[in-house]
Structures are given as C-alpha cells and as structure tokens.
Chains A and B, each alone.
Chain A
Amino acid sequence: EVQLVESGGGLVQPGRSLKLSCVASGFTFNNYWMTWIRQAPGKGLEWVASITNTGGSTYYPDSVKGRFTISRDNAKSTLYLQMNSLRSEDTATYYCTREGARYWGQGVMVTVSS
C-alpha cells in the first residue's frame, strides 16, 4: 500500500523559513517523480513543485520560484520542500503526492503569520 506521510508544518513568521518532509513507503521511491501541491484554507488546489525520480530536474510555478526548493533523498525514501521568505499567502495545507497526484499524503498545515 502506497503511504505518504508529511511532517514539519506549523506556525511561522513572515520572512522566515520552514522545511517540510514526506516519508514514502509501499513502493520503490526512486522510480517515481514526486510533487507538492497546496491548498489555502477554503480555496482550490495549487501545484507547488515537482522533481524527477533522480532529483536531476525540478519544476516550480512563478508563485514560489526562487523561494521554495524541492529535493529528495532516495536512500531514505523522503521528499522535502524547503520554503524560504515565507509570505502570508503561503498559508495552506501542503500535500505530498506521487507522480501527477495519483497518490496523496494526508497533508500538513503551514501558517504564515506574525
């Protein structure tokens, strides 16, 4: 059974940093691209970042490019999202997903507020 378990969320002040983790199990992690998707409270879904199975290429929308970094440790079956220069509009539930969002984690809440 595919399992994706996120952690690392919480309350952070604007301008500060936070790093999310996602531990994967139930499949061969290094065979799959991975993606972070977020959802602001009461709003729709927004794609945040994707990374190839080797970690050799990464992709971001303009809204987070230059501030967020997706990475992975295939030996630990773990996906990461380093979030810098956080803004109030980054407040959301962040989901770790496999491939094009075929499988989802339970999500982790990030609140950016002073």
Chain B
Amino acid sequence: DIQMTQSPSSLPASLGDRVTITCRASQDIGNYLRWFQQKPGKSPRLMIYGATNLANGVPSRFSGSRSGSDYSLTINSLESEDMAIYYCLQHNEYPYTFGAGTKLELK
C-alpha cells in the first residue's frame, strides 16, 4: 500500500501568515493527489485536485505544488475561515490512502 506521510500534524499560525502543509508519497502517484479541508462537524471539502488545480469556488490564496514525491498545500495570507484540518489523498492506485491530517489553528 502507498503510505502518505503528512506533516506537520499541528500548525499554529497567525492571520495573514503564509503556511505550507506537505505530504510525501512512499511510491510514485503521479499527480493523483487531492487536498481536502474539514471543519468541525462538516464533511470534507475538495480544495486541490491533480496536485496543483484549484477546485471550484476555492479562494486563490490556496495553491498546490509538487516536488518529486513531496506534495504541498500552501495558503497565502491566512484568514480565520481557513482554520480547519487538512488531509491529502492519493488516488493513483487502490487502496486509496489519506494522510493523517494537519490541524491548522490560530497561534
């Protein structure tokens, strides 16, 4: 199975900060990588697909990138509504696997 190692697990940050969350894939997954945002009591929301593509309605301060087997989600100029847990997902091969999540919280 492909392991997705997500870091950090917790990320304290201030409003206006630029933050980056990373997932490292244990095997090649191409660009079959998605990022999700989940707020308390809500279903996850797709933010990034194909490693770098912004999903519909997602603010432009969010972006995705890839460097080898490292996939990153960056949020520029953090806003209060961005406080949530973020997960990556590889869907290159079964079993699909998620990262363990990153809790983004106010410092």
> Which chain A residues have a beta carbon within 8 Å of chain B's beta carbons?
35, 44-47, 50, 59-62, 95, 100-107
B34 to chain A, nearest CB (A): 6
Task: Please measure, in the bound complex, the distance between the C-alpha atom of A50 and the C-alpha atom of B95, giving whole angstroms.
Answer: 10
Chain A residues, CB < 8 A from B98? 44-47
Of the residues A100, A102, A105, contact of B43 by C-beta under 8 Å: A105
Of the residues A46, A62, A100, A106, contact of B91 by C-beta under 8 Å: A100
Chain B residues, CB < 8 A from A46? 98
B43 touches A107 (CB 8 A): yes
Q: How many A-B pairs fall under 8 Å by CB?
A: 51
Chain B residues, CB < 8 A from A50? 94, 96
Task: Please measure, in the bound complex, the distance between the C-alpha atom of A107 and the C-alpha atom of B45, giving whole angstroms.
Answer: 13
Interface of chain B, main secondary structure: loop
Task: Please measure, in the bound complex, the distance between the C-alpha atom of A95 and the C-alpha atom of B43, giving whole angstroms.
Answer: 8
How many residues on B have C-beta within 8 angstroms of the other chain's C-beta atoms? 21
Within B79-107, the residues touching A (CB, 8 Å) are 87, 89, 91, 94-101
Of the residues A60, A61, A101, A103, contact of B34 by C-beta under 8 Å: A101
B87 touches A104 (CB 8 A): no
B71 within 8 A of A: no
A47 touches B97 (CB 8 A): yes
Task: Please measure, in the bound complex, the distance between the C-alpha atom of A73 and the C-alpha atom of B34, giving whole angstroms.
Answer: 28
B72 to chain A, nearest CB (A): 19
Between A47, A60, A95, the greatest number of chain B beta carbons within 10 A of the residue's beta carbon is seen for: A47
B44 to chain A, nearest CB (A): 6
Chain A residues, CB < 8 A from B46? 101-103
Scoring B residues 42 to 53 as 1 if CB is less than 8 Å from chain A, else 0, what string do you get? 011110010000
Q: A50-B94, A100-B89, A104-B44 are in contact. Are A44 and B36 (CB under 8 A)?
A: no
Chain B residues, CB < 8 A from A61? 1, 94-95
